[in-house]
Amino acid sequence: MSHLFGHDHPLNVKAGVGNPIAFVERFDPRARVLAACVFAIVVVALQQIEFALCALALAAMTMSLTDPPWRVTLKRMAAMDGFIIVMLIMLPFTTPGTPMFTVFGAEASKEGLMHAILVGIRANAVVLMMLSLLAGMTPVTLGHALYRLKCPAALVHLMMFTVRYISVLHDEYHRLRMAMKLRGFKARNNAHTYRSFGYLFGMLVVRSLERAERVLEAMKCRGFSGHFPLIDDMAFRRRDGLFAVIFLALITALVLLDRIYVFAY
Amino acid sequence: MHIVDGALAPEVLIGGGGLAVAGLGLGLRKLPIDKIPATGVLSATFFVASLIHVPVGPSSVHLIMSGLAGLVLGWTAFPALFVGLLLQAIFFGFGGLTVLGVNTVNIAFPAVLAGLLFRGMVARVPPVPAAVLGGVAGAFSIALTTLFVAIALGLSGDAFIPAAKLVFFAHIPIMIVEGLVSAASVYLIAKVKPALLQPADPVEDFQMQAAVLRANQAEQTPNG
C-alpha cells in the first residue's frame, strides 16, 4: 500500500490504529470539515496583516495539537510557498503606490509589499489549518463526513473509488516504469521520452479501464444497485459542540476586529 | 497552475464556486451509476498522472492530461477532476479550500471543452490523425487552463496582470510537452482499445438509463 496520503492504511476508517490519538483527531470529522471551510472563508476576507497573523497563529496552535511529527505538514506548506513565491515577489513592483526601493530600475511600492505579505500569510494560514484539521483523517473518513454533510452520494462514491484505486494505479505505474528502466529507458529532453511517457500513460488508462470493467462485473455480481451503505460511527458529542462554539467565537472575533479596524482607520 | 487561497478577489471566488457547482451538477447528471466505477478508476488514473514527472529543459513538470480526460470522459471529466483536486488540496496542501471552485473550473472546463470539440473527430479517424488531434486537444486544454488562471488573477486586481502574463508564457513549454504526451497516449489507445475514445452510442445510453430506473426501483424495495 502506498503512503501517498500520509497514512499507513489509507482505506481504514480510523487513522493510526493502535497509536495514541492526537487531540484534534478526537473531534467529529464533520465538525472539522466545517471548521476548516469557515476558517478558510473568514481568513481570505481578512484585510489587516495583524489579524491575518492572528489567524496564522491559530492555525499553528491547531497544528501543535496534531500528531507530533509536523515535518510533513511544514514540508507541504513550504511546497505551496514555492508555488506562489514568484507572484509574491512580483507584486510590490506591479502595484502603484509610494515607492520604497528600486531593483534594476523597477520601483517597489509599500502598498504592493504589504499586499504580498498579506496574501502570503492568508495562504499559509488556510493551508496550515486545512492540513492540521483534515489531513489527519483518512480519505475514507473524509468521504463519510462529506456524505453525512449531504454531499451528493454519486460524488462521494466517485471519491471513494478514486481513493481506492489511486494506490493501485500508482503501483501499476511503478511496475510499468520499472519495466521501461530494465529496457534501458532514461528520461531525457527528447521526443522519444515524451512518446514513451505518452505510451506509458495510455497503457495506464487502458489497463485501468479494463480493471474498472472487472470491478463493475464483480459489483453487479453482488447486487450493486447504485448505493453503498456507508457505515461509520460518527457521533456529534458535547465536546464537538464545545469545539464548534469556541472556534466560531475565535474567528468571529477575528473578523469583527478586522472590520472594526478597517472602519476606524 | 494551482491558485492559492488569499490571492483572489471574493467576487472571483464566488463566481468560480458557482460555475464549479453548476459543472459538477451537470457532470453528475451525465454519470449513470454503471459508470461510477469506471469514472472513479479513471479519475484515479488522472490523479496518478499528476504524480508522473516528465523532464522539461533542466527541470521537470508533472503531467496534467486534462485534454485526454476530456476525450475519454466527456462531461464526467468535471466531477472526476474535481475529486482529484479536492484530494490534492486536503492531503497535499496544493491549492486551497476557497479557491477549489476556481481551480476546478480552470482545469475541468477546458478538459470538457476539449472533449466536446475533439471527441467526435478523434473517434472517426485512423490512429495517426487521431494522435494529432489528441495532441492538439492536450495542448489546447492546457492553453485554456493557463488562460483561465491568468483571467482569474487579472480579474482580482490590476497588480496581478504581469504575474498572469508570466504564468501564461511560462506554461508554453508545458503545453508543448502535454501535447506530445497526449498525442502518444491517444495513438496507443486508438490502437489498443479504440472503444475508449468512442462517444457513447444511443443504445448504450438507453441501457444506462434502464439501469438507473432499475436502481431506483431497487432502492424502493428494502435491500441491504
Q: Per-residue pLDDT tens for A206-241?
A: 999 898 889 888 988 888 877 777 777 788 888 888
Alpha-carbon gap, residue A47 to A53, rounded angstroms = 11
Alpha-carbon gap, residue A17 to A22, rounded angstroms = 12
Average pLDDT taken over every residue of chain B: 87
Alpha-carbon gap, residue B181 to A190, rounded angstroms = 11
Residue A107, pLDDT above cutoff 90: no
B2 falls within a domain:
no
Residue A1, pLDDT above cutoff 50: no
Residue A2, pLDDT above cutoff 50: no
Over residues A17-36, mean pLDDT: 80
Over residues B45-59, mean pLDDT: 88
C-beta atoms of A201 and B181 within 8 A: yes
Nearest CA in chain A to B195: A206
Residue B98, pLDDT above cutoff 60: yes
**CB–CB of B146/B157 below 8 Å?**
no
Contacts of B96 in chain A (CB under 8 A): 40, 123, 126-127, 130
Alpha-carbon gap, residue B69 to B104, rounded angstroms = 14
Alpha-carbon gap, residue B108 to B115, rounded angstroms = 10
- Helices marked H in B30-126 — which ranges? 36-49, 66-73, 77-87, 100-124
pLDDT, one tens digit per residue, over A116-148 is 888 889 888 998 998 888 888 888 889 999 998
Q: Which of residues 133-172 of A touch B (CB under 8 A)?
A: 134-135, 139, 142, 152, 154-155, 157-166, 168-170
Taking Cα atoms as reference points, which of A165, A238, A236, A169 lies closest to residue A200? A169
pTM of the model: 0.88
Average pLDDT taken over every residue of chain A: 84
- Provide the b/e sequence for B72-107 (b: ≥16 CB within 10 Å): bbbbbbbbbbbbbbbbbbbbbbbbbbbbbbbbbbbb
B3 falls within a domain:
no
What pLDDT score does A49 carry? 87
How many angstroms away from the CA of B41 is the closest CA of chain A? 6
How many angstroms away from the CA of A90 is the closest CA of chain B? 7
Q: Give percent of chain B with pLDDT exceeding 90.
A: 48
Alpha-carbon gap, residue A215 to A222, rounded angstroms = 11
What pLDDT score does B181 carry? 95
C-beta atoms of B93 and A80 within 8 A: yes
CB proximity A201 to B under 8 Å:
yes
C-beta atoms of B41 and A169 within 8 A: yes
Alpha-carbon gap, residue B194 to A237, rounded angstroms = 53
B221 falls within a domain:
no
- Determine how many CB atoms are found less than 10 A away from the CB of residue A217: 11
C-beta atoms of B212 and A226 within 8 A: yes
Helix axes A153-182, B36-49, angle to 10 degrees: 50
What pLDDT score does B134 carry? 95
What pLDDT score does B141 carry? 95
What pLDDT score does A105 carry? 67
Residue A201, pLDDT above cutoff 90: yes
B5 falls within a domain:
no
Over residues B23-29, mean pLDDT: 93
- Considering only the beta carbons, identify the residue of B91, B185, B223 that sits closest to A205: B185
Q: Give percent of chain A with pLDDT exceeding 70.
A: 91
Alpha-carbon gap, residue A134 to A151, rounded angstroms = 17
Alpha-carbon gap, residue B173 to B187, rounded angstroms = 21
Nearest CA in chain A to B37: A212
Out of A102-106, A190-194, B67-71, least confident range: A102-106
Contacts of B34 in chain A (CB under 8 A): 216
**CB–CB of A212/B41 below 8 Å?**
yes
Taking Cα atoms as reference points, which of A79, A194, A176 lies closest to residue A128? A79
DSSP β-bridge partners for residue B62: B53
Contacts of B182 in chain A (CB under 8 A): 198
For residue B88, what is the DSSP state?
I
How many domains are there within chain B? 1
C-beta atoms of B180 and A90 within 8 A: no
C-beta atoms of B184 and A86 within 8 A: no
Over residues A27-50, mean pLDDT: 89
Secondary structure (3-state) at B60:
strand
Contacts of B49 in chain A (CB under 8 A): 201
Torsion angles phi and psi, residue B18, rounded to 5: -60, -45
Alpha carbon distances (Å) from A42 to A163, A252, B17, B103, B184: 29, 8, 16, 19, 45
Identify the CATH number of the domain in which residue B123 sits.
1.10.1760.20
What pLDDT score does A177 carry? 94
Residue A98, pLDDT above cutoff 90: no
Alpha-carbon gap, residue A64 to B88, rounded angstroms = 22
pLDDT, one tens digit per residue, over B154-183 is 888 888 888 888 888 888 999 999 999 999
- Considering only the beta carbons, identify the residue of A159, A225, A229 that sits closest to B83: A159
What pLDDT score does B57 carry? 79
Q: For residue B95, what are the domain limits?
A: 10-216
Q: Which of residues 31-70 of A touch B (CB under 8 A)?
A: 36-37, 40-41, 43-45
Alpha-carbon gap, residue A258 to A265, rounded angstroms = 11
Q: Which of residues 213-232 of A touch B (CB under 8 A)?
A: 213, 215-216, 219, 223-227, 229
Out of A102-111, B26-35, B87-96, B149-158, least confident range: A102-111
Contacts of B184 in chain A (CB under 8 A): 194-199, 202
* Confidence band of B8 (pLDDT split at 50, 70, 90): confident
B171 falls within a domain:
yes
What distance lies between CA B32 and its chain's CA centroid?
18
pLDDT, one tens digit per residue, over B112-144 is 999 999 988 888 889 999 999 999 999 999 999
Residue B41, pLDDT above cutoff 60: yes
**CB–CB of B187/B71 below 8 Å?**
no
